[in-house]
Structure 1
Amino acid sequence: MSAVKRLFEKYSIDPKQVKRLEVGTESAIDKSKSIKSFIMQEFPQVEYSEMEGIDTINACYGATNALFNGLYWLNSEHTTTKKNDVYSVVVAVDIAQYDKGPARPTGGAGAVAMLLGRDAPLSFSDFRLKAFHMEHAYDFYKPKKTSYFPTVDGQYSNVCYLKALDICYERLRSRHEQPISVADLDYLCFHAPYNKLVQKSFARMVYSDFALAEESQLESLYAKYGIKDDETKSKINQYARSQPREETYNDNESSKFFIALTKKMYEQKVGASTYLPRELGNTYAASLYAGLTSLVGLKGQELQDKRINLFSYGSGLAAAMFEFQGRETTHKKHRYQLEDIKNILDLPNRLNQRQEITPEEYSKTMDHNMDVYLKHDFVSSTPTDYISSGAYYLDRVDDKYRRFYLRKE
């Protein structure tokens, strides 16, 4: 609710213009009632209630499915209206919480509200340039209905992620009219459970460029990457062209080689998109879009005419890779230009407003959350000092398990 309210306020959006709203999450507290239905409190008037969309759930992938649903809706011949000032809103929101142990520090929380409409500053240059991979896997799941915490097979989940990345990238490459490589992309955003996996993923895509290249394409590929020495070429041949890809997912030597090889390019093409994920921790369905927000929030107008590759992954599993392009909008409304979105986001200043707490305080808060999880008939005792102005917070849960929220002034 906080993200949607701020989106409407900062960009002067009339609720009457929003005809679809969909939520991507895996953190719904109720097994029946959607998060979207709570957000409808922002649209109390009956004339605002004709709004398609609902929650979409599959681990960290739900928001991407919601995004595509919104884009398909905008471009559908069955959309109720074709006016240019009609919008779809997608909300990517999650809380990543882990039990005591090494995974706990990677947790986080976040919500990203995205406005979809025609003549957008980020758009598909070609709607065909997208690729998907779906598969059955038990790498990360939440079978315990009485607990926040997931069941995770960490090493297997990393393999699932990288395998899905390989498949999606190979499929996306095949949909371009001309062969492409990572060197041809301006920026990349990844689903970011933790930053080391993002580094591995970028290196893995470069690995795939060499693994998939025809023999006749190698010299031009070396030139694109600025590789001239025979020793490096020999290493690339050893790691990328001399063994099956499925045998390389746990090959640390190969991974370290390509991470080192691509370090400078990683900073140029990926570094900016890791700004919020590194500061906020894992935000599950919001993670990729926190990365995209980082990119816009740091680069602004520099993204005009630039190609942005995005990789989305959700355990279980579902994955997608697609491309956006930055552009100048034709209607010239200042709030919808890339540079002005950057200024409105004001990311460094917003992050500086956070209040630091100790690990002990954090653990105490987590213990309290578990104590009240699934309980009812109580008033929240959590201090609101750390809550930013304009954010919603849980005030109470009544004897019928109904949840009530207030907005901090």
Structure 2
Amino acid sequence: MLIGIDKMNFFTPNTYIDLVKLAEHRGIDPNKFTVGIGQSKMAVPTITQDTVSMGANAALPILDATDLGKIDLIVVGTETGIDESKSSAAFIHQLLNIHPFAKSVEVKQACYGATAGLMMAKDFITTHPGRKALVIASDISRYGLATSGEVTQGAGAVAMLISENPRILELEDVSVSMTESIFDFWRPNYTDTAIVNGKFSNEAYVNFFSTIWEEFSKRTSYSLADFNAFCFHLPYSKMGKKALLPALENESEDVQKRLMSHYDLSTTYTKNIGNIYTGSLYLSLMSLLDSDENSLKSGDLIGFFSYGSGAVGEIFSGRLVEDYDKHLLKEAHQDMLNNRYDLSIEEYETIFTKELPKTDGTHPLSEAKYDKSHFYLSSITDHQRHYNERQ
């Protein structure tokens, strides 16, 4: 049975800060942002956009009535869940009007969560032929104003419909995972911002890739020359290159050129959105496919490196399906990015520092000037979140 990604889409809030503007305001050479880490713009969510609303906004455009009746599993991978008990998936299940006899769960392991969801979905479809699964990655990356990690923040969500006979990507069966309990990046329950050991995190990322790749290559007999592209978890656009370049040293010039040119295509969306944690690997896939100018074709092999600090990593692979390009949403993606609101520094800092109410009572929320999204967080009443739809 062939199982994989049948439909996919991403969402990002329609407010952002230009990183040249931010660098100049912070008294930093803009090249440190735009060249050093390779970022141009950073999504900034209003208080009315959270894990639930972004996930639902990502999924809505790709689901029709048939899908809603066949989705029996909803998995949300996130490290910025909105409740310590109730899953984001339960909220999203209701917002999307998926039939009642579906299971809805949230998965957490830093930026690896959505990949865990994807593998769960693949196994589920294997034992439930004819049914479908919805995998969503939704996160808001926060390190604080004027911090060393400020420039690698971002927000967004990815939605993937997983089914038999997929129309975009067929997942291959062999994958290799690795777990090691380390503290390269973590966020205790009592803080809204992450704690990062940047140098160690970069080293761990590269080590995980090289170690897992060696084992993956043994199990599959694949070499890098067999791949037409390799997509990476991208907390910022240059991160994957730190792992890929050493692995390419002994490959031919043609292989190096092919993989590096496709790597560059896979970073376009990240450069303009920032770090979306669990969704960043799949954002890189959409960036690659949307940006490609006919160098990829059906049957081409694509590799994937998923990494979640703390740490879990996985390498897996998939093949593009015939006419996959007819099922991409590249124009809608470009329109979404082109029609965002460019925040001033004052607007950015005001939006960033707003906090949700934490007391009893009814608290309406409004960011109508900025937030034009279909689903949005409209109020909190006695600690319960309520969402609305724009008509």
Relative to the length of structure 2, the TM-score reads: 0.79
Superposed counterparts of 1:389-408, under 5 Å:
389-390=373-374, 392-399=375-382, 401-408=383-390
User: For the structure 1 residues 10 and 133, does the alpha-carbon distance in structure 2 shift closer, same or farther, using more than 3 Å as the test?
Assistant: closer
Shift of 1:341: 2.4
Summarize the Cα distance change of 1:75–1:361 in structure 2 as closer, same or farther, 3 Å threshold: same
From 141, 150, 154, the equivalent of 1:108 is 154
- Looking at both structures, which has the greater relative contact order when contacts are Cα pairs under 8 Å and sequence separation is at least 6? 2
- CA deviations on 1:232-278 (whole Å, 9 max, x unpaired) are xxxxxxxxxxxxxxxxxxxxxxxxxxxxxx5x545422111111111
The alpha-carbon deviation at position 124 of structure 1 amounts to 4.0
Unpaired runs of 5+ residues, structure 2, are 1-52
1:303 is displaced (CA, Å) by: 3.8
**CA displacement 1:269-311 (0-9 Å, x = unmatched):** 2111111111110000011111112123223873422111111
Deviation at 1:203, TM superposition (A): 0.7
Task: State the distance in 1 between where 2:316 and 2:370 align.
Answer: 37
Deviation at 1:61, TM superposition (A): 0.6
Separation (CA, whole Å) in 2 of partners of 1:381 and 1:226: 54
CA pair 358-105 structure 1, distance change in 2 beyond 3 A = farther
- Equivalent of 1:205 in 219, 227, 247: 247
Q: Residue in 2 aligned with 1:194?
A: 236
Aligned length: 336
Identify the residue that residue 121 of structure 2 maps to in structure 1. 70
Contact 1:61/1:314 (8 A) holds in 2: yes
- Map 1:329-340 to 2 at 5 A: 337-340=323-326
Who is 1:293 aligned against? 286
Q: CA deviation at 1:191?
A: 0.5
Structure 1: state its 5+ residue gaps. 211-220, 228-261, 329-336
User: What SS does the corresponding residue of 2:266 show, helix, strand or coil?
Assistant: helix
Report deviation, 1:378. 4.8
Going by fraction, where is strand more abundant, 1 or 2?
Answer: 2
Question: Is the contact between residue 113 and residue 278 of structure 2 (CA under 8 Å) also seen in structure 1?
Answer: yes
Which residue is 2:253 aligned to?
225
Code of the residue aligned with 2:92 in structure 1: it is I
Residue deviations 1:110-134, cap 9 Å, x none? 1111000011134446312x11110
Counterparts in 2 of 1:366 and 1:320: CA distance versus 1, 3 Å: same
Q: Which has the larger radius of gyration?
A: 1
Query: Which residue in 2 is equivalent to 1:352?
Result: 338
For 2:158, what is the secondary structure of its paired residue? strand
Q: Check 1:375–1:29 CA distance in 2 against 1; reply closer, same or farther (3 A cut).
A: farther
**Aligned 8 A contact 2:185 2:195 in 1:** yes
CA deviation after TM superposition for structure 1 residue 106, in Å: 1.3
By how many angstroms is 1:159 displaced? 1.1
2:54–2:156 contact (8 Å) kept in structure 1? no
Deviations 1:323-369 (A, max 9, x none): 111012xxxxxxxx522222465322221011100233212111113
SS in 1 for 2:342: coil
**CA separation in 1, counterparts of 2:329 and 2:114?**
25
Which of 253, 267, 270 is matched with 1:274 structurally? 267
Q: Which residue of 1 aligns with 2:23?
A: none
Q: Distance in 1 between matches of 2:85 and 2:293?
A: 40
Of residues 173, 180, 185, the one that matches 1:135 is 180
Mapped to 2, the partners of 1:389 and 1:226 lie a distance apart of: 43
Contact 2:301 2:320 in 1 (8 A): yes
Q: Distance in 1 between matches of 2:181 and 2:215?
A: 19
**1:377–1:396 CA contact under 8 A, matched in 2:** no
1:349-388 aligned at under 5 Å gives the runs 349-369=335-355, 372=356, 374-388=358-372
Aligned partner of residue 195 in structure 1, secondary structure: coil
**Separation of aligned partners in 2, 1:37 and 1:379:** 22
The alpha-carbon distance between structure 1 residues 13 and 172, as it changes in their structure 2 partners (threshold 3 A), is farther
Query: For 1:137, what is the secondary structure of its paired residue?
Result: coil
Alignment check: 8 A CA contact 2:169 2:324 kept: no
Preserved contact between residue 58 and residue 157 of structure 2 (Cα < 8 Å): no
Q: 1:343 to 1:125 in 2, by over 3 A?
A: closer
8 Å Cα contact 1:300-1:339 kept in structure 2: no
The 1:149–1:275 alpha-carbon spacing in structure 2 relative to 1, beyond 3 Å, is same
The alignment status of 1:87 with 2:87, answered yes or no, reads no
The offset of 1:8, in angstroms, is 4.5
Shift in CA distance, 42/199, structure 1 to aligned 2, threshold 3 Å: same
Match of 1:32 among 79, 85, 89: 85
**TM-score normalised to structure 1 length:** 0.76
> Residues of 2 paired with 1:106 and 1:9: CA distance?
28
Structure 1 residue aligned with 2:64: 12
Q: Does 1:184 align with 2:226?
A: yes
Higher helix share: 1
1:43/1:49 contact within 8 Å kept: no
